[in-house]
Amino acid sequence: MQLKDTVFGQKYTLNCGGRVIDLREVRIMGILNLTPDSFYSGSRLAEHALTAVVAQAGTMLEEGATFLDIGGYSTRPGADEIPLKTELERVIPTISAIKQAYPEAVISIDTFRSEVARAAADAGATVINDVSGGNLDAKMFDTVAELQLPYICMHMRGTPATMKNLNQYDNLITDVYRELIEKAVRLNRLGVKDVVLDPGFGFAKNIEQNFKILKELEQFTLAGYPLLVGVSRKSMIYKTLGLDPADALNGSSILHAWALERGARILRVHDVKPAMEAIQLWKRFETV
């Protein structure tokens, strides 16, 4: 039973549709954003031709990305809801085109809708990345169990439109950790073998809370589940430094290094090459 594996030892593998990813090697997840209103304008690919998106996927793979995370629903604070049909139209042709061009690519679908997760899996996605941790679709956990794909369980409260006002915690670290672990255990009991935890930087947390979680990130590794960190170009960086997201690459690299030091196994990033450099330098530092 997977619960036993995670409670008594760190889990270091993900079975992505038959391809086993070894997380003893830190991995990068490159962001392919198919929305027109992401918080970072440089990541918006919605208006680009499909061939350009596929080319960007190829560049990320060449630079060292293990996963490509494809999303068609903006989850920035205050984002509006979009119809299911729109999300499907954005992501499914892209997944199919990337898989045709790069058959070995490990594609993650960034969605909280079980119908999108299922359609994406049919098109070739082999990881499900749910920013809501199952909160926004009651069918998601059962769908993941049926598909038997790795599931990234992120912590969030409310919806993208409401989460900004839902950052009150009795104890930030304890509350976020408990809410994540309760879901991981539920997933294990449903037969989901591969669960990755994401504390959800920027989702129902203010800047101070984001830094608190980063400082105590190692606490989230205690149950043995692999840990994904997504801080790339986020407001905890650019607002702290008085910058725009476009100027937050240097800050992202610094926070990535801190996350690696505290147990992150997957970095979800906009900029693959700088993240790979951060990993290489951290590994060199660790071997001294």
Say which CATH number the domain at 256 has. Answer: 3.20.20.20
Which residue intervals of 9-83 are DSSP H helices? 50-63
Higher-confidence residue of 173 and 78: namely 173
Judge whether 117 and 127 are in contact, CB under 8 Å: no
pLDDT tens sequence across 115-134: 999 999 999 999 999 999 99
Do the domain assignments include residue 100?
A: yes
State the catalytic residues: 234, 268
Instruction: Kindly state whether residue 4 falls inside one of the protein's structural domains.
Output: no
**pLDDT value at 233 more than 90:** yes
Instruction: Supply 192's token pair.
Output: 């989901």
Per-residue pLDDT reduced to its tens digit, 234-251:
999 999 999 999 999 999
pLDDT score recorded for residue 47: 57
Neighbours of 80 (CB within 10 A): 9
Q: Count up the domains in the chain and report the number.
A: 1
Q: Which domain holds residue 111?
A: 13-287
Residue 3 lies in a domain: no
pLDDT digits (tens, 9 = 90+) for 141-163: 999 999 999 999 999 999 888 89
From 112, 103, 107, 79, select the one nearest 92 (Cα to Cα). Answer: 107
Whether 1 is covered by a domain: the verdict is: no
